[in-house]
């Protein structure tokens, strides 16, 4: 949004009375779908300051920078973490299956998916977070960051229980991209950023903060969307070697 606002502000300067126009914007009443940006763009088009081709280019660039902005509009934590993140991962790895008492007689929601690898059944826990401006109190969709932003962010992967799964898949969403990390559960438990005791009395549960200072240390676990299944199997084999 910042880049779009900056570009439009540059074009507003080319209007005959830019200060008068900006003053009018402050009193503008917006009703969906007629908002401030629609008003600015239509005015610039009418004044021949913005050509139709320029508008299409501006629009395409904005969409590319905000391809996943809709994910930040999911307000309910469970709606994001359970329904969206798990559904998104399932669409990328169709062979993932939801566990049940038939597959694990002790199952009671401790992990999210299982994946069959020959005679092995891999238990997988999915954690998801969104990159937002750490210093902003605005709604999520306003403070959502692009992957090239230099602003501070803090993605907190909560209620992490390494003893209940073999592999963790972390899903992190920016405005313009989604990143995935696939980690053996033991390497999460022994990671220096993993802290236990998130909630009093919850033994074996912790959290891990991923931010601008430490995200580079997790590159070794990063996987592309089309190689997630292979990454899960590889992490499982590492987990079993370390056991």
Its domain, for residue 131, covers 70-242
What's the pLDDT band for 78 if we cut at 50, 70, 90?
Answer: confident
Domain co-membership, 125 together with 50: no
Domain co-membership, 60 together with 12: yes
Domain co-membership, 58 together with 75: no
Domain co-membership, 147 together with 234: yes
Q: Which of 65, 81, 102 is the last residue of a domain?
A: 65
Domains identified in the chain, total number: 2
pLDDT at 169 over 90: yes
Residue showing tokens 């209007």: 15
pLDDT at 205 over 90: no
Q: Which of 46, 65, 84 is the last residue of a domain?
A: 65
Instruction: Give 28-71 pLDDT, tens digit per residue.
Output: 998 888 899 999 999 999 999 999 999 999 999 999 999 999 99
pLDDT at 202 over 90: no
Residue 40 has a pLDDT of 96
Domain co-membership, 92 together with 211: yes
Contact assessment for residue 231 and residue 223, using Cβ atoms and an 8 Å cutoff: yes
Q: Which of 33, 50, 65 is the last residue of a domain?
A: 65
Residue 139 sits in a domain whose CATH number is 3.40.1350.10
pTM, entire model: 0.84
What's the pLDDT band for 150 if we cut at 50, 70, 90?
Answer: very high
């Amino acid at each position: 949004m910042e880049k779009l606002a900056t570009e439009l502000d540059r074009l507003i300067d080319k209007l005959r009375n830019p200060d008068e126009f900006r003053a009018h914007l402050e009193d503008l009443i917006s009703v969906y779908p007629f908002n401030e940006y629609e008003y600015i763009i239509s005015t610039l088009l009418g004044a021949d300051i913005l050509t139709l081709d320029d508008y299409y280019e501006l629009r395409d660039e904005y969409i590319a920078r905000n391809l996943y902005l809709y994910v930040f509009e999911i307000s309910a934590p469970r709606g994001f973490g359970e329904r969206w993140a798990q559904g998104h991962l399932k669409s990328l790895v169709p062979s993932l299956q939801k566990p049940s008492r038939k597959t694990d007689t002790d199952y009671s929601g401790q992990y999210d998916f299982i994946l069959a690898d020959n005679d092995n059944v891999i238990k997988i826990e999915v954690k998801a977070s969104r990159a937002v401006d750490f210093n902003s109190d605005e709604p999520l969709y306003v403070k959502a960051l692009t992957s090239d932003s230099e602003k501070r962010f803090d993605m907190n992967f909560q209620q992490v229980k390494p003893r209940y799964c073999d592999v963790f898949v972390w899903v992190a969403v920016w405005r313009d991209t989604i990143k995935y990390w696939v980690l053996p559960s033991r390497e999460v438990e022994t990671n220096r950023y993993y802290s236990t005791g998130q909630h009093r009395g919850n033994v074996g549960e912790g959290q891990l903060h991923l931010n601008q200072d430490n995200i580079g240390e997790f590159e070794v676990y990063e996987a592309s969307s089309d190689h997630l299944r292979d990454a899960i199997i590889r992490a499982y084999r590492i987990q079993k070697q370390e056991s």
